[in-house]
Structure 1
Amino acid sequence: MDANSPAKGSAGGLWLKIALLAVVILFGGYSVIAMYASGEYAFAIVTLLLISLGVYVFTNPRTYAHRYIFPGVAGMAIFIVFPMAYTVFISFTNYSGVNLLSLERAQNYLRALTYQADGGSFEFSMHPTDSEGRYILALKSEQDESKIYVSHSVEILTKKEITAARMRKADWPMVENGVELVPATALPTTPAEAIRTIVQTRDHLSALKLNLPDGDVLSMNGLRKFSALKPVYTLLDQGAIIADQIIISDSNTLRDNRSGELLRPNMNSGYYQYVDNNGQFVGERIPPGFTVGVGWKNYLRVMTDKGIQGPFLQIFVWTVVFAGASVGITLMIGMIMACLVQWEHLKGRALYRVFLILPYAVPAFISILVFKGLFNQNFGEINLALESIFGIKPEWYTDPVLAKLMILIVNTWLGYPYMMILCMGLLKSIPEDLYEASAMDGSGPVGNFFKITVPLLMKPLTPLLIASFAFNFNNFVLILLLTNGDPDIIGATTPAGHTDLLVSYTYRIAFEGSGQDYGLASAIATLIFLMVGALAILNLKLSKADH
């Protein structure tokens, strides 16, 4: 046996660790650079911190014990702490469907807008030359057909050729200063290229600038047309200067080239707006908007805006009632069912257990969709049966009270098997001697249930009931699939329904409606987090007090 084999094995393991560490550092570094380059600065900073901390923990002997818990801590930081912190940050901004961009990107978008100058539209054709891939560009004015201009021989590449040139890290041939056009008496005699060739070379043609003798610059404006396109807005990075006097010193000032008016970014509304010579905002807002900080505005809207405050409080009360009632009803039914299927004198107990657990085995979304059909107001089996027996057809989806009752019925069906399973397991931990002693004192099954079973089950069930309450507090899938929050709350300024829970209300604010107000939705999500946390702490204190 080779005496050096342990040392070789140790050296091999060391090199493997170094290689893995190098891969992690390289991959992490690339990810950080990619995030930073794409403007995701927060994600880049978090990733850099976690990778740096991970390298330190796994390479420092003094932090040896921490390496076992670091993956869990890192996962919690990425999937819990960071999203929550980012949500809180968004709640202090006007981030929404119309205020998505940064100021720089909104400015670049506006500066890229163009308009067609008067009299600057030309029909365009490509004529091949003796050299492959080189063409003469011919333009004829749409306003005056006697005005014809032609270019010299220009190399025009297809999209595939441009891609190949870029992969070779070569600058694909394009005239940076534009292609000069000269007057001509007639179009070239060679046949013009078909539309197919123009489509294949469109990327190159779109990048070309054609210079007319009078100084106008033409850009491609369709497959068969070049036009004198001018920028709608020009950046005045030195500020607006009128009569040799600086009137507006903002380096983000834009000038509307069509009217000569000035625009500045309004840091309160998150839009560019027209201003007067004193820099005061006097005109309309120009989309797209950009993201700015708004302080406590979103939270104040929740507290003061009647169209938000009323629905928010109404939905909050319903959410608490729904979560509490769901836990209470499912616990009651589950505990009774567990006692019944554990009853020794009941024949076929195993078969009953299977049938009673089936609702828990079927995927929840299938059961919800089945109930959605059963409660259909016109064709559902439930209304057909009620109409035939009692002559009534309840409006389950349009009446707020009935809609909430329907949700509780469906959620009870989905939730009682879970409680039954928990109680079935806990019932086996109760000593039979207690029931025998109670029977000797003359107590019956009902007395045993309330005096022995319920008290002994409630203590171990308390943490699970708190978890069930938190789950139902955020039971988004049930609301989304069954009612989608309907019927709507009249007078609400944001999407809100009588059956919405706070979580679905937040979702609808963020992703429904014209505004998609992510800032307001984040503020409400933060409030939900604080309320759920407070309720959880209160429940835990009450459960400790019971002990």
Structure 2
Amino acid sequence: MKQPQDAGGVLSGKVVSGNGLKWALVAAIDIALLYIITLMYAQGEIAFALVILLLGSIGTWVFTSEKAYNFRYVYPSLLGVILFVVFPLIYTVNIAFTNYSSTNLLPFERVKQIHLDKTYSSGEEKFALSLYQNNDAYQLELTNTRNHEESYTTQAFTVAQLPGTVSADSAIQAEGDKLAMRDIIQLRSDLRLLTVMLPDESKLVMTSLREFGAMAQLFSEGDNDSLINNQTGDVYHPDHETGFYVSQDGERMAPGFTVYIGWDNFVRVVSDPGIQGPFWKILGWTVTHATLTVMFTLIIGLLLACLVQWEPLKESAIYRVLLILPYAVPAFISILIFRGLFNQNFGEINLVLHNLFGIKPEWFTNEYLAKAMILIVNCWLGYPYMMILTMGLLKAIPEDLYEASAIDGANPLHNLRHITVPMIIKPLIPLLIASFAFNFNNFVLINLLTGGGPNLLDASTPAGATDILVSYTFRIAFGSYGQDFGLASAIAGFIFVIVGFIAWANLKATSKLQEQ
């Protein structure tokens, strides 16, 4: 007869099985993370490797230790904060103290190796080429153009082996069919990747469509990481202040390497007239643009909300839907449509203005008209949001207040000033702050509508009259006139401090207003 199994034993077995599964899952995740960390470290991404190692170690401790059991619910949010907030902030600050840019993009050892790999035509013997094909294999026959008796034939090679080096010898015989010039032309891009090693260990590369020639190393390494130009004899020393190899005459040799330059980028922002002037102009316009947008959208949204909720208005539901439609259309589509409407030569807005008043405003080339255009478009995009907010808040105002004011003989303007606005302003303030923050960094609007233009002529970096801080930083970092990531990171640091101060001031003002 089968004996009943002990309940405690079953439970214990399940716990052991669950723990085993947990440890197996943690081990699999850790092995995958270690593999990723190894790859990143091998590619020189040490910062990313360290961050993943730190987060993986914390995660392993949290999910395997009984003492850290409560942190299991906090770890996902902590992971997101560290990975997407703290690490980018630290990384950006680190770049701000370097000369990291399109001209100083690589580490020193990589730049040094690039220079050492450079070659030049030594001007020695030239070898006429003949190419033979045997199925998928090729062989080169190289004949000295001065001494026709000196001839070498390479080992067989395939296109899949390129780029690569193949040895050649006079004792090797070519096999296969000799290719015509038109076939060599079709293979010229592949042949340029081939290096031929002669018996005396000299190297030949393709110098023209019909010839191979000797190539010599342009630089050789000297003392203290210096480089000696084998062609001219000039000596280049690494300058760890500017991040370039520099000759005795002060000539810089590109590419440069990344070095730490201290506070130089921050000093440039506050002292360089070509950066300082545009920076403060752009900061002023950024604050003005965000403030006016919030103010205009609030006024328009509030007035329209009052209008659609006006009882004598018939078919108010239809008007609500029509007025909310701009909010339903993706912003980038609306911006591109407005860009066409405001076109100075073919836009419908200038067409109407020209027919009515005989004028064609230069919306994209005049600084003030460009700013006015941005405010118009931004108000169109933002008023539905404010209208929806205020419609809900207006519903919460007791009707008794309006009835009492009507008995006292108040008009709609008095109701708006003394009842409506005071009743909705407190719950609106956090939302207005959020709207201000959004428009403070509204990169999509500026980039798609004006691209930051018209350009400021007194700026030494790419800067425009309608740029806001985020678009100005983007143009410095990723613009078509050069990428200065270090300077852009320094400006981003200033933006962080400014936005932090504005947020602190707004929160203090909000708390004081809510205490009243």
The alignment covers a number of residue pairs equal to 507
Gaps of 5+ in 1: 164-172, 240-249, 276-281
- Does the aligned pair in 2 maintain the 1:315–1:501 contact within 8 Å? yes
Where 2:252 maps in the other structure, the secondary structure is strand
Q: Which residue of 2 aligns with 1:209?
A: 197
Amino acid of the residue matched to residue 28 of structure 1?
A: L
Q: 1:145: how far off?
A: 4.6
Q: Which residue of 1 aligns with 2:420?
A: 453
Amino acid of the residue matched to residue 285 of structure 1?
A: R
Looking at structure 1, the residues matched to 505 and 397 of structure 2 have their Cα atoms a distance apart, in angstroms, of 28
Equivalences for residues 358-369 of structure 1 within 5 A: 358-369=325-336
User: What is the CA deviation profile of residues 469-516 of structure 1, one whole-angstrom value per residue up to 9, with x for unaligned ones?
Assistant: 111011111011111111111121111111111111111111124331
**Change in 2 beyond 3 A, CA 1:258/1:174:** closer
Match of 1:232 among 218, 230, 236: 218
Looking at structure 1, the residues matched to 132 and 342 of structure 2 have their Cα atoms a distance apart, in angstroms, of 70
- Does the aligned pair in 2 maintain the 1:268–1:292 contact within 8 Å? yes
Q: 1:207: how far off?
A: 5.0
Gaps of 5+ in 2: none
Looking at structure 2, the residues matched to 174 and 272 of structure 1 have their Cα atoms a distance apart, in angstroms, of 30
- Does the aligned pair in 1 maintain the 2:286–2:469 contact within 8 Å? yes
- Does the aligned pair in 1 maintain the 2:138–2:158 contact within 8 Å? no
**Change in 2 beyond 3 A, CA 1:87/1:174:** closer
Looking at structure 2, the residues matched to 398 and 447 of structure 1 have their Cα atoms a distance apart, in angstroms, of 43
**Change in 2 beyond 3 A, CA 1:50/1:443:** same
Looking at structure 1, the residues matched to 497 and 323 of structure 2 have their Cα atoms a distance apart, in angstroms, of 37
Q: Which stretch of structure 1 is more off in the superposition, 514-523 or 50-59?
A: 514-523
Where 1:226 maps in the other structure, the secondary structure is strand
- Does the aligned pair in 1 maintain the 2:283–2:469 contact within 8 Å? yes
User: What is the CA deviation profile of residues 19-66 of structure 1, one whole-angstrom value per residue up to 9, with x for unaligned ones?
Assistant: 321221111111111111111111111111011111111111111111
Q: Which residue of 1 aligns with 2:357?
A: 390
Q: 1:193: how far off?
A: 5.3
CA-based RMSD:
2.9
Q: Which stretch of structure 1 is more off in the superposition, 225-234 or 39-48?
A: 225-234
Where 1:283 maps in the other structure, the secondary structure is coil
Looking at structure 1, the residues matched to 471 and 189 of structure 2 have their Cα atoms a distance apart, in angstroms, of 49
Q: Which residue of 1 aligns with 2:319?
A: 352
- Does the aligned pair in 1 maintain the 2:63–2:72 contact within 8 Å? yes
Where 2:71 maps in the other structure, the secondary structure is helix
Looking at structure 2, the residues matched to 363 and 133 of structure 1 have their Cα atoms a distance apart, in angstroms, of 55
- Are residues 1:25 and 2:24 paired? no
Amino acid of the residue matched to residue 274 of structure 1?
A: S
- Are residues 1:74 and 2:79 paired? yes
Looking at structure 1, the residues matched to 115 and 315 of structure 2 have their Cα atoms a distance apart, in angstroms, of 75
Q: 1:217: how far off?
A: 3.6
Where 2:251 maps in the other structure, the secondary structure is strand
Q: Which residue of 2 aligns with 1:270?
A: 243
Looking at structure 2, the residues matched to 381 and 205 of structure 1 have their Cα atoms a distance apart, in angstroms, of 56
Looking at structure 2, the residues matched to 545 and 294 of structure 1 have their Cα atoms a distance apart, in angstroms, of 43
Q: Which residue of 1 aligns with 2:483?
A: 516
Q: 1:208: how far off?
A: 4.4
Q: Which residue of 2 aligns with 1:150?
A: 152
Give the structure-1-normalised TM-score: 0.86
User: What is the CA deviation profile of residues 348-406 of structure 1, one whole-angstrom value per residue up to 9, with x for unaligned ones?
Assistant: 11111101100100111111111111111122111111122222211111111111001
Looking at structure 1, the residues matched to 365 and 202 of structure 2 have their Cα atoms a distance apart, in angstroms, of 63
Where 1:487 maps in the other structure, the secondary structure is coil
Looking at structure 2, the residues matched to 429 and 55 of structure 1 have their Cα atoms a distance apart, in angstroms, of 50
Identity, % of aligned pairs? 50
Looking at structure 2, the residues matched to 136 and 424 of structure 1 have their Cα atoms a distance apart, in angstroms, of 81
Match of 1:218 among 176, 186, 204: 204
Amino acid of the residue matched to residue 138 of structure 1?
A: E
Looking at structure 1, the residues matched to 174 and 502 of structure 2 have their Cα atoms a distance apart, in angstroms, of 82
Q: 1:227: how far off?
A: 2.0
**Change in 2 beyond 3 A, CA 1:6/1:337:** farther
Amino acid of the residue matched to residue 15 of structure 1?
A: G
- Does the aligned pair in 2 maintain the 1:331–1:416 contact within 8 Å? yes
- Does the aligned pair in 1 maintain the 2:402–2:415 contact within 8 Å? yes
Looking at structure 2, the residues matched to 197 and 374 of structure 1 have their Cα atoms a distance apart, in angstroms, of 51
Q: Which residue of 2 aligns with 1:254?
A: 227
Amino acid of the residue matched to residue 392 of structure 1?
A: I
- Does the aligned pair in 1 maintain the 2:308–2:320 contact within 8 Å? yes
- Does the aligned pair in 2 maintain the 1:330–1:415 contact within 8 Å? yes
- Does the aligned pair in 2 maintain the 1:159–1:200 contact within 8 Å? no
**Change in 2 beyond 3 A, CA 1:189/1:357:** closer
Q: Which residue of 1 aligns with 2:430?
A: 463
Looking at structure 2, the residues matched to 371 and 359 of structure 1 have their Cα atoms a distance apart, in angstroms, of 12
Q: Which residue of 1 aligns with 2:141?
A: 138
- Does the aligned pair in 2 maintain the 1:103–1:291 contact within 8 Å? yes
- Are residues 1:325 and 2:292 paired? yes
User: What is the CA deviation profile of residues 305-336 of structure 1, one whole-angstrom value per residue up to 9, with x for unaligned ones?
Assistant: 11111111111101100000000110111111
**Change in 2 beyond 3 A, CA 1:325/1:478:** same
Give the structure-2-normalised TM-score: 0.91
